[in-house]
A = this chain, B = another copy of it.
Amino acid sequence: MMWNCDWFSITTTTMSDTADRPLTYVHGYSESEATRLGDQADTLAELLHHDTRYPPGARVLEVGCGVGAQTRHLLARSPNASFTCVDRERSSLLSACAGLPTNGGGAGSVAFVQADIFHLPFRQASFDHAFVCFVLEHLARPGDALRTLQRVLRPGSSLTVIEGDHGSTFFHPDSPKARRTIDCLVETQARAGGDANIGRRLFPLLIDAGLRDVQVSPRFVYADGSRARWVDGFTRKTFIAMVKGARESSLRLGLVSEDDWSEGIVDLERAALDDGTFCYTFFKATARVA
C-alpha cells in the first residue's frame, strides 16, 4: 500500500525575506546532489533517526524536507503519524513525493507544502512535533527561524533539530590541503549566509529561542579500514562528494587555487584507504515548546 500522499501547491507564499534565503543553496539541486543526499540519508539513518518515533495520529511538521532524503526514514519509523513536509523548492517536493516508499499498511499520511520556514501557511498550534534536519545551517537567522516555527506548534510540542558540523572533521593521514578544501566549503556556505559549523552551537541556539528541556546528543561518525560501509557510504559518497560539490564556487570566490584544491581532494581520498581514518560529528537536539 502506498502512502496517502497529498499535494498542496501553496505557491502564494512569497520569498521576500532574502536575508534568510541564501542567494544560492550551497549544495545546489543537481541530480548527483540528489543521489548524494540519498546515500547520506541511508548511511546515516540508523545513527541519526533510530530514536525518533512519532505515535499514531501525531501531527508532525518537517521543515525543509528537500528531496525527501530524511522524510523516507521518518515515515518508516512512524507509519501511523500524519506528516506535513515543507520546502521552498517545488522541484524538490516533486522528487520527494515521487520517491516515497510504500507504508506497509500503516494509517499515516504525508502532505507536501511549498512554503518558506518564515512564512508557514498554517494556523497557530497546528502540529504536535517539528523535525528540522540540515536546514538551520543554511539560514542567516536560524534563531529567528526557530522562534517563528514555534507559532505553528502547540504548547508542549517536541522539536527535533539535526545538524552537522564541518569543523568537527578530522582524519588520518592529516593534510593541510585537505583541510583547506573543507574550509572552502565552510567559507562558501558562510558567504551565502549560512554556518556549516552550526552543530556545536545547537544548545545555546535552542535555549536562546525560548525552547525548554533542551538536550543535545552528539552522533559521532568514525570510518576506518574495518568499516567499509562507513568509508564508502559516508567518507566517500557523503562527505568527499559534498566537498567536491563546492569546487566551482570555491574557485570562483578565489578561496583556493585549482591545483591546491585538487591536491586537497586527493589527500581527502587518501583518508578513505584501508589505513586511513575519518571522523565527523552530527548533533541531534530535542526540546519542548513552552
Chain A residues 221-236 with CB under 8 Å of chain B are 222, 224-226
Q: Pick the contact of A277: B201, B220, B222, B276 (CB < 8 A).
A: B201
Q: Which residues of B lie under 8 Å from residue A279 when comparing CB positions? A: 168, 200, 218, 281
| Bound Cα distance from A275 to B206, whole angstroms | 10
Provide the bound-state CA to CA distance between A200 and B279, in Å.
8
A204-B277 in contact (CB<8A):
yes
| In the complex, A7 has a CB within 8 A of chain B | no
Is the C-beta of A33 less than 8 angstroms from some C-beta in chain B?
no
Query: Is A172 interfacial (CB 8 A cutoff)?
Result: yes
Please state the number of chain copies in the assembly.
2
Chain B residues, CB < 8 A from A134: none
Asked, given contacts A218-B220, A222-B216, whether A276 binds B168 with beta carbons under 8 Å apart, the answer is no
Q: Verify if A131 is at the interface (C-beta below 8 Å from B).
A: no
Q: Is the interface of A mostly helix, strand, loop or mixed?
A: mixed
Instruction: Tell me whether A170 is interfacial, beta carbon within 8 Å.
Output: yes
Contact among B168, B172, B207, B214 for A170, CB-based, below 8 A: B168
**Does A197 reach chain B (CB closer than 8 Å)?**
yes
- A207 and B167 in contact (CB under 8 A), knowing A172-B201, A216-B222? no
User: CB of A239 within 8 A of chain B?
Assistant: no
Name the B residues within 8 Å of A275 (CB-CB): 203-204, 207-208
Known: A203-B225, A204-B277. 19 other contacts (CB 8 A): A165-B170, A167-B170, A168-B170, A173-B201, A174-B197, A200-B277, A200-B279, A201-B277, A203-B224, A204-B224, A204-B275, A204-B276, A208-B275, A214-B226, A216-B222, A216-B224, A216-B226, A218-B220, A279-B281
Instruction: Return 20 A-B CB contacts under 8 Å, by A number.
Output: A165-B170, A168-B170, A168-B279, A172-B201, A174-B200, A201-B277, A203-B225, A203-B277, A204-B224, A204-B277, A207-B225, A208-B275, A214-B226, A216-B222, A216-B224, A216-B226, A216-B277, A218-B220, A220-B220, A279-B281
